[in-house]
Amino acid sequence: MSLRRTAALIICLTFSGLFAVLYAISSSNLRAGFSTLEREEVEEEITRAGRVLHGETEALEATVADWAMWDDTYRFARDRDADYLRGNINFQSLSTIHADLILIYDAAGSLVLGRTVQAADQKLLPVSRALSDKVAATRLVARPGKNGNVVSGMLIEGGTVWLLAACPILTSTREGPPHGVLVMGRRLDADNIAGLSELIMLRLGVVDLQQPGLSPRFGDIAASIGRTGRHAVVPDGEKSIQGFALLRDLAGRPGILLSVAMPRRIFAQERIVQRNNVMFLLTIGLAFGLAMMLLVERRILSRVSSLRGQIKHLGEDTAGEGRTFVAGNDEIADLSKAINAMLAALDQAHGRYAMATRAAKVGVWELWKESGAFYIDPHFLALLDYNAEGMRPELDAWLAHVHPEDRERVREELAAWTKGDVDEYVGEQRMSARDGTVHWILVRGRAVRDASGRATRFVGTNTDVTELKQAEENIRKLTGALLKAQEIERARIARDLHDNVAQDLSAAKIACQTLLDGTALPSPAVRDRLTGFTALLSRAIRSVRELSYGLRPPDLEYLGLVQALERLCDDFSRQAAMGVDFVSSGLEGVSVPQDVAINLYRVAQEALANVRRHAGARHVSVRLVESYPRLILRVKDDGKGFNVAEGLDRAGRDRRMGLAGMRERVGLFGGTLRIASQPGQGCLVVAEVVYVEERQHGNEADTDR
């Protein structure tokens, strides 16, 4: 993704985030404010509806109080005057005062008169026994007001909601005693509710909370009002909203829910304000985003783009003399200056790197596994007088300059390494320079792996070690000459010891043995001393002969390497009191050159000496195997073993040259010396040397080996 797209995306995301936050805050505040206003409006209307209902109750109370103070009512309660019934208790009279129920109880609480209005037939009907008994059980009759005070309340019977008012029956002068209680009531039926709705211009409703099968919704609303003590406000969709007030009956139980339904005018206003708020925020946000984008483009993006183009041009500049420039005095200009400083430092480091590679004759390389692309350091190619531009970036182009005798070997080694799981590679190869000279190259490589552990590319170095190889060859030749001179000197000393010293000692021994011949018997003391001297000469003769054999074993020269090693093992077993077995294989008909034989013999001799001095072993096995074109000597003991790295380090500190001498002797013939040991597991010494094979049986083909 480009920087411009990234900047545009960041600005868009920032604007979107700010818009979301501002919209959430403003929307929440607006919603809360309008919800409060809407609730207050609904509560005000439900309160107004309650006041209207209360006004109906007050009107009913006034009517009851008026009728209860009539002298006619008082006489009827006392004397049961029939004229009172004919003149006052009729449909016309009760309709005039909007009364749907009239009950008169005597002082004992017994029903004297009970009538209900049937508006459809415009007549009065006797009141039901259930209704009269239920009214008699309320405080309207059981505990009437004193001194003419009116008591009112609500009663539900048979699914009908009644507004009731009661007053003690007294004379017009409020004289007593009371002769009973007058109760009047109005139904809260659909017609009366419709009339109240028209009166207050609201849609009222009444829900009987004591009816069977009440909807759980109204039960939850009543419970909520009972807990909070406030009116309930319940939205009924987006068009209307309802307010509920809880009214209790004369027994104090929840009686009805008085509801008010009204259009959601405030909610509609909220939606309009919310839409305007969104449009306002979008307009401000778009203006802000465009202004910010223009500012970022002018102050940052255009300058960064210019710097990017200059840097891209620098990558194409092979001369390495280009520099960047960005006007201004800010971070981008500082970045341009820093890039110029890095370029200068890079030029300087590149020059030093070129001098270092020329001086050390080292170059880096890189091989990509998937594509096969190959990179070689141009400075290293210059050491071989090749031009990097003329060489294809492929491994085969590099292998084409490898010496023909090494090419396939190197190709197979690299193929096996790049396909395997080994991280490091070390190898040597010869390469032909442009002038035809041969250079020895030491190649080191390491695999670079991805997060899954799979090798993706290989990097390493090429080092020209031709001079080192020449020095090693000179050292090898010098070492060989020294060892050869050593063996010649040892042979001369051995001959002198055998031909001169041993002969002289033998003559002295014979002289001692014949010293007393023809003379009188000497004393026992003289004879014992002469016998001891003769024994001393015998031991000296044996020591001289053993020393002469050790310096130049005649078996090696006259009988060959196998017999010489067998004799060495027998002598070692006898002298060290240790079991030694020797086995040779594949050397029938093989003539081992004398210089190879003597050096391999010395390696075995030194290995056995080390076993005797350090191993504490009980048994040693010596194996000599011919595996064309190599001779392999293995010396294995069952001794205490040792840590090889620590042992070699300790031998170097103590200046013990046994192992170093063995390695030098093997190295004279292009061989290797390996030592394998662990504490408690014995030790194994393996020497491999290349010999010049001369077969006496020409019918043995190489394929037979």
Residues in the chain: 705
Quick one: pLDDT at residue 703? Answer: 33
Give one word for 486, left, alpha or beta, with left for phi > 0 and alpha for psi -120 to 50. Answer: alpha
The answer to whether 501 touches 544, Cβ cutoff 8 Å, is yes
Residue type, 255: G
Handedness of CA 34, 39, 40, 44 (dihedral sign): positive
**513-538 pLDDT, tens per residue?**
666 666 666 677 777 777 787 778 77
pLDDT, position 389: 62
CATH number at 69-188: 3.30.450.20
- What pLDDT score does 612 carry? 87
State yes or no: pLDDT of 698 exceeds 60: no
CB distance 168 to 184 below 8 Å:
no
Do 601 and 565 contact (CB within 8 A), yes or no?
yes
Structure confidence at residue 508 (pLDDT): 75
Q: How many CB atoms lie within 10 A of CB 185?
A: 28
Q: How confident is the model at residue 619 (pLDDT cuts 50, 70, 90)?
A: very high
Residue 73, helix vs strand vs coil: helix
Q: Pick the range with the lowest mean pLDDT from 582-596, 599-613, 640-654.
A: 640-654
Instruction: Say yes or no: do domains 361-464 and 555-695 share a fold.
Output: no
How many other C-beta atoms can be found within 10 angstroms of the C-beta atom of residue 216?
Answer: 7
> In the chain, pLDDT over 70 holds for what percent of residues?
86
Lowest-pLDDT range, 60-64, 637-641, 652-656?
652-656
Range 402-409 average pLDDT: 86
pLDDT score at 20: 86
CA dist., res. 206 & res. 156, Å (int)? 12
pLDDT band at 146 (very low <50, low <70, confident <90, very high): low
Give dist(CA 72, CA 74) in Å, integer: 5
β-strand partners of 117: 124
Q: Which residue has the tokens 């971070």?
A: 331
Please give the pLDDT value at position 145: 57
Give residue-wise pLDDT tens across range 661-696. 788 888 877 788 889 988 988 899 999 988 764 434
* DSSP-assigned letter for residue 388: G
Q: Which two tokens stand for residue 25?
A: 């805050």
Residue 588 or residue 234, greater confidence: 234
d(CA 348, CA 600): 55
Q: Check whether 490 has a pLDDT greater than 90.
A: no
Task: Specify whether the CB–CB gap between 204 and 259 falls below 8 A.
Answer: yes
Ramachandran assignment for 159, one of left (phi > 0), alpha (psi -120 to 50 degrees), beta (any other)? left
Out of 91-105, 206-220, 468-482, pick the least confident: 468-482
Q: Count the neighbouring beta carbons within 10 Å of the beta carbon of residue 626.
A: 19
The CA distance from 133 to 302, in Å, is 96
The one-letter code for the residue type at 71 is D
pLDDT at 704 over 50: no
Residue type at 192 in one-letter notation: N
**Is the pLDDT assigned to residue 4 strictly greater than 80?**
no
Q: Which option is the CATH number for 361-464: 3.90.1150.10, 3.40.50.300, 3.30.365.10, 3.30.450.20?
A: 3.30.450.20
- Structure confidence at residue 102 (pLDDT): 93
What is the chain's mean pLDDT, rounded? 81
Q: Using 50, 70 and 90 to split pLDDT, how confident is the model at 487? A: low
Tokens at 227, concatenated: 């807990």
User: Does the pLDDT at position 697 exceed 70?
Assistant: no
Q: Which residue has the higher pLDDT, 41 or 541?
A: 41
Query: What CA–CA distance (Å, rounded) separates 579 from 638?
Result: 11
Neighbour count for residue 165 (Cβ, 10 Å): 25
Lowest mean pLDDT among 152-166, 516-530, 626-640: 516-530
Query: pTM surpassing 0.75?
Result: no
Q: Looking at residues 277-295, what average pLDDT do you find? A: 86
What is the model's pLDDT at position 115?
Answer: 92
Q: Are 660 and 483 in contact (CB under 8 A)?
A: no
Domain locations in the chain as residue ranges: 69-188, 361-464, 466-552, 555-695
Q: What average pLDDT score do residues 286-300 get?
A: 83
pLDDT at 635: 92
* Backbone dihedral angles phi then psi of residue 659, each to the nearest 5 degrees: -65, -40
Amino acid 621: pLDDT: 93
Structure tokens belonging to residue 292: 């910010």
Q: What is the largest CA-CA distance in the chain?
A: 204
| DSSP label at residue 394 | B
What is the per-residue pLDDT for 126? 93
pLDDT of residue 82: 81
Detail the DSSP E strand segments found in 433-537.
438-449, 455-464
* Lowest mean pLDDT segment, chosen from 102-106, 295-299, 598-602, 632-636: 295-299
Q: Is the pLDDT of residue 239 over 70?
A: yes
The DSSP call for residue 115 is E
Q: What dotted CATH number matches 555-695?
A: 3.30.565.10
What per-residue confidence (pLDDT) applies to 700?
A: 36
Would you say the C-alpha torsion 483, 488, 491, 493 has a positive or negative sign? negative
Could you tell me where the beta strands, DSSP code E, fall in 196-276? 203-208, 232-236, 240-248, 254-263
- Residue 150, burial from CB neighbour count under 10 angstroms (0-12, 13-18, 19+): buried
In tens, the pLDDT along 499-508 reads 667 667 777 7
pLDDT band at 125 (very low <50, low <70, confident <90, very high): very high
CB 111: neighbour CB atoms within 10 A?
18
What pLDDT does 438 receive? Answer: 85
Higher-scoring residue by pLDDT: 581, 324: 581
Report the pLDDT value the prediction gives residue 104, as an integer from 0 to 100.
92
Stretch 165-185: mean pLDDT? 84
Least confident of 58-67, 302-311, 425-434: 302-311
Distance in angstroms between the alpha carbons of the first and the last residue of the chain: 66
pLDDT at 558: 66
